[in-house]
Amino acid sequence: MANRPQPLGVMVWVGMGALALVLALTLSPLMTIAAFGRDGFALRITDWAAIHFTLVQAFLSTVLSLAIAVPLARAVARRHFWGRRLFVALMGAPFILPVIVAVFGIISSFGHNGLIAQILRPFGVVMPEIYGLHGVVLAHMFFNLPLAARLILQAWQDVPQERVRLAQSLGLGHAAFFRHIEWQILRNTLPPAFAIIFLLCCSSFAVALILGGGPRATTIELAIYQAFRFDFDLGRAASLAAVQALLCLVLGGIALKWTRPRNPLGTGLDRPLALPRGGRIAAVSDGFVILVAGVFLILPLVRVLWLGLPHLIDLPSQVWVAALRSVVMALFATAICLCLSLHIALTLTRLKAAPYLEAICLLALVISPLALGTGWFLMLRQITNPIAWALPVTVLVNALMALPFVLRALLPALREAEASQARLATALGLQGWKRFRHAYLPRLIRPLGFGAGLAAALSMGDLGVIALFAAPDHATLPLEMMRLMGAYRMQEAQGAATVLLGLSLCLFWVFDRGGRIYA
């Protein structure tokens, strides 16, 4: 029998082209860095200190995030309280928050002169300075505690109800219940969560930029920035970027290996889970954990709004210009990201080698934006003035950074559409655009909306590449806000933080809501 031409065959080739482009955009800067250091990478003693600090802060941030996430996830899993759904949704919010805004909120809440310090001062309690290791760890916990809690909560909610009932029927005590049910969840969930959070903490830049610094609190990312911006020592920046890329690649490989889906306790009949709630002590401890975590997550956001709203009308014009620039860049990054991820997703659903090809897209997540930015700068300076290309490069890197998340949102929906609609579409002779329009697009609109919202919000809040080589008159809003903070124009920075927070959440909401309405 003759082989029929594959429907969407052109799209597959376009998708392969998109994959090749992602690979080129990600690897070429790394190769440039490697070529730049062909005479040997030179690291100073302070750079080794930066590597040490990066690993220490990442380890502490990860361990502390997980240590609190476990009781938090358990408390949320076994308690039903007013606002529970909102609380779980709130745990997803830090992911789309601009880092600089969140850090600003953390400083104004938990800093030396923050709200908590003001409340405790009359009682003789003085809050320590937030700058340094503990500030970096605290900020990383703000971002990663909810991520870890959501990962663990999901695993907890996947426990078959039958398993819990069996344990109850057998009369397993607290220790046996932990060993046979809860530990089985945790031993499968904690290692991948550890790897992902450790990776995120190693490659985080804006937190260290604002709360770190100095010889004792400089991360590799911050050292790259300092070598670039302050010393213009490109050799050292390339060396550090190579170390950072290598570190993240190794950690990313471990995370990928550990994140293979495993369900340690089977599937059951998909009945709603009712975990044993324990006695009065358990109820009090659960309530305490939820309350403390809730305050920890909400207070910084409330503080940003509280401090920033009164100053909105006084904002200098450059803040509004930067805001407009950021929105335009976010929209471009979103469009590029959606275009690439849609074509790549269509290709991945048709190829046996999909898992390996998907790993290419994760490269952008694994390699830090500053390492990419350094590589791009080194590449561009051979042919043109890199400063003039700062905005397009930022847009491109932001699109690449959002790509793995958008792809993760699209692939399940596309695979479901392929499984349920492909035969019908083939039977009706639908090909190309018509096939995509009728068989796939209706299933994709919702994840496309979510993915677009994610890409736009992440791009809006990015303070990575742009901080590395932006022209003074081409700042994005996060960069402008950082400059205002650096110049101690705090009231204007507070107003800018509110604008940035509002625009990021607004962009996410508009796209996500649009996807839901038209789904």
Partner 1 sequence: MLELRNIMHHSAPFTFRANLTIARGEKVALMGQSGAGKSTLLGLIGGFITPDQGQIIFAGQDLTEANPAARPCAILFQDSNLFPHLNLRDNLGLAVSGARKRTASLDARIARALDKVGLAGFEERRPASLSGGQQSRAGIARVLLQDRPVLLMDEPFAALDPGRRREMAALISALCAELGLTLLLATHDFNDAEGICDRVILLEAGEIQADCPIKGLRKTAPAALKPWL
Residues lying near partner 1 in the complex (CB under 8 A): 160, 162-163, 165-166, 168-173, 176, 180, 184, 264-269, 271, 274
Distance CA 235, CA 479 (A): 25
Q: How far is the CB of 156 from partner 1 (least distance, A)?
A: 15
Question: Of 171 and 261, which CB lies nearer to partner 1 in the complex structure?
Answer: 171
Q: How far is the CB of 509 from partner 1 (least distance, A)?
A: 30
* DSSP reduced 3-state for 204: coil
Q: Least distance in Å: CB of 181 to partner 1?
A: 8
Nearest approach in angstroms of CB 169 to partner 1 is 5
130 token code pair: 């937030």
Long-range pairs for 11-14: beta carbons < 8 A, 24 or more residues apart: 11/343, 11/346, 11/347, 11/432, 11/436, 12/346, 12/347, 12/350, 12/351, 14/343, 14/347
d(CA 215, CA 213): 7
Select 163 or 474, whichever has its Cβ closest to partner 1: 163
Three-state SS for 501? helix
Smaller CB separation from partner 1, 10 or 176: 176
Residue (113 or 168) nearer to partner 1, CB: 168
Write the DSSP assignment of 439-483 as a string of letters.
IIHHHHHHHHHHHHHHHHHHHHT--SHHHHH--TT---HHHHHHH
Considering beta carbons, is residue 121 or 271 the nearer one to partner 1? Answer: 271
Q: How far is the CB of 280 from partner 1 (least distance, A)?
A: 16
Q: Which is nearer to partner 1, 170 or 339 (CB)?
A: 170
Nearer to partner 1 (CB atom), residue 79 or residue 180: 180
Q: How far is the CB of 166 from partner 1 (least distance, A)?
A: 7
How far apart are CB 171 and partner 1 at their closest, in Å? 3
Least distance (Å) between residue 179 CB and partner 1:
9
| Helix runs in 230-279, H state only | 234-258
Looking up tokens 């990478």 gives 41
Measured CA to CA, the distance from residue 32 to residue 367 in angstroms comes to 14
Each as own residue / partner, the long-range contacts of residues 274-278 (CB below 8 Å, 24 or more positions apart, any chain) are 274/161, 274/164, 275/77, 275/78, 275/156, 275/159, 275/164, 276/78, 276/164, 276/168, 276/177, 277/78, 277/79, 278/78, 278/174
Helix then strand then coil, % of the chain, to nearest 5: 80, 0, 20
| Least separation in angstroms between CB 134 and partner 1 | 38
Shortest spacing between CB 75 and partner 1, in angstroms: 21
Do residues 142 and 132 make contact, with C-beta atoms less than 8 angstroms apart? no
Report residue 170: phi and psi, to 5°.
-80, -5
C-beta closer to partner 1: residue 38 or 80: 80
CB of 73 to partner 1, least distance (A): 20
Q: Do residues 458 and 218 lie in contact, with contact meaning Cβ atoms separated by under 8 Å?
A: no
- Going from the C-alpha of 484 to that of each of 101, 130, 316, 487, 492, the distances in angstroms are 13, 19, 10, 5, 7
Minimal distance, residue 289 CB to partner 1, in Å: 25
Closest CA to 143 of 487, 461, 485: 461
Closest separation in Å from C-beta 190 to partner 1:
15
Between 149 and 181, CB nearer to partner 1: 181
Specify the 3-state DSSP secondary structure of 40: coil
Q: Which is nearer to partner 1, 213 or 268 (CB)?
A: 268
Nearer to partner 1, 122 or 173 (CB): 173
For residue 393, give the nearest of 322, 469, 483 by alpha carbon.
469
Between residues 213 and 264, which has the closer beta carbon with respect to partner 1?
A: 264
Q: Which is nearer to partner 1, 39 or 270 (CB)?
A: 270
List the one residue out of 203, 260, 62, 233 whose CA is nearest residue 145.
Answer: 62
Nearest of 474, 476, 460, 462 to residue 330 by alpha carbon:
460
Is residue 42 within 8 Å of 241, Cβ to Cβ? no
Nearest to 408 by CA among 372, 359, 456: 359
